[in-house]
A and B are shown apart, each in its own frame.
Chain A
């Protein structure tokens, strides 16, 4: 049985190597023989040069300066939206009056894509960090609210009834039964929110910024250095991927009993 599993893994690994190597070979071929214009399609080796340039310093510091500036905005906005969104979602599901007051407002704001707020944010808060923090709050607020709401609403009634029978007050029901058992869903919402805010900060920095990874892409575009653009995209992907991974590890640690909901 064990040998069978590892055989499958080896095959998977081989196929992955073949397909990724094939991808890079095709990219290199396309860059050198089909497009022949490093500004439109830089070859992988060009991109490596771009990565090196980012490490030695490009427009206001090396890549870590830009990463820090993007992460700083994401973290502030993200923490704010958790602090606002999770309690609001829980309260909406727990108290009917809160629900009737806030759900019409949410149903208006929800269909507006977060990047659509970027121009207004610039108008209201200026082009520095605070405007971007505002857009981040909007983009991660909605998944936090929706998932916290669902987490409380989709409670098994037996749990609540059981705690009622044992004499729990309403506050106690919420704090000791409903929230702990809804925690996996709440955390899923927070993970979606984190991904959203990372994508949104890139969009906001593409529009206007003076540092950050989105700014690097835009700067590469304006300075005719496509390899800088590609290198920054790689950095964005690596950081987005690691943030997601870290969050999953935290989830496994905080709610080890959760079912694995993601199949892909």
Chain B
């Protein structure tokens, strides 16, 4: 029932958009009507722009995104764990972390182009930088917030530190680590588009490239339909992770 209402109101908004374009006779270069965006979307599925149709750009963006995100997870989770487990590591890394964090990840983009090239590596590096902090912080908190009485209980029953780590700390920290990965995924997805637009000159594929092309060739409808694709994928990625979270973490106390 609520779903139906949402859909009706969405249609209302789109209708309003079409009406504004129609009523003020706005040129399609400036603000295309929803129908033109839809037409362009259908055309984009089969006709190629740059290196291929929509699907090619999608794959290119996903590749960059996954490279950055997977590296962030591989680096971030162990760093967070080590920082929580060993005080020395914490005290050595925290100052560096605090020093480098105020630099917005996107500001690294020009250096990233110099270091890793414009077509794949630079975007992945920017994504890595922007999904790293939430992953580190949540992994850190995951271990730090382990219930002390559990550890004491295990010690009383004669568990050694390896068992405490594997059977108490890791399972206990999983929900928070997972939440960190979810936040990292969202910030990384945001950074992907920023990086593709900022470092866009070096490559001719990717969803950010499509948005830029739309602007440069005065096809606003191309930009808008790529933006919508980005939004839909971002939202579905988050939705999938949320479902996975609910499925795997169903033992978690809320």
* Chain A residues at the B interface, C-beta cutoff of 8 Å: 11-12, 15-16, 18-20, 23, 39-41, 100-101, 103-105, 107-120, 122-124, 198-199, 202-203, 206-207, 214, 217-218, 220-221, 226, 229-230, 232-233, 236-238, 240-241, 244, 263-264
Contact = CB atoms under 8 A, between A and B. Distances in A.
B92 A19 contact: yes
A15 B104 contact: no
B114 interface: yes
A221 B111 CA distance: 8
A105 B95 contact: no
Given A23-B96, A124-B30, A115 B197 contact: yes
Contacts of B190: 113-115
B107 A214 contact: yes
Given A111-B232, A115-B197, A104 B10 contact: yes
A100 B224 CA distance: 24
Contact of B92 (A15, A115, A207): A15
B111 A229 contact: yes
A221 to B, nearest CB: 4
Interface stretch (B71-79, B153-161, B209-217, B244-252): B209-217
B253 interface: no
- The bracket for how many chain B residues form the interface is 35 or more
A104 B5 CA distance: 9
A238 B141 contact: no
A20 B97 CA distance: 10
B50 interface: no
Contacts, number: 155
B184 interface: no
B177 to A, nearest CB: 15
A20 B198 contact: no
Given A120-B220, A236-B104, A104 B93 contact: no
B115 to A, nearest CB: 7
Nearest to B212: A119
Nearest to A243: B102
B13 A40 contact: no
Contacts of B227: 112, 116-117, 120
B48 to A, nearest CB: 20
Contact of A244 (B5, B29, B102, B235): B102
Contacts of B10: 104-105, 108
Interface string B1-27: 000011101100100000000000000
Contacts of A39: 114
B140 to A, nearest CB: 8
B208 interface: yes
B106 A122 contact: no
Given A111-B232, A113-B230, 15 more contacts: A104-B13, A105-B10, A112-B228, A113-B191, A114-B190, A115-B106, A120-B220, A120-B223, A123-B30, A123-B223, A199-B107, A202-B104, A206-B109, A217-B107, A237-B100
B148 interface: no
B106 A113 contact: no
B231 A111 contact: yes
Nearest to A244: B102
B162 interface: no
15 contacts: A15-B91, A15-B95, A16-B95, A40-B115, A108-B13, A112-B227, A113-B193, A114-B190, A116-B194, A119-B211, A120-B215, A202-B106, A217-B107, A221-B113, A244-B102
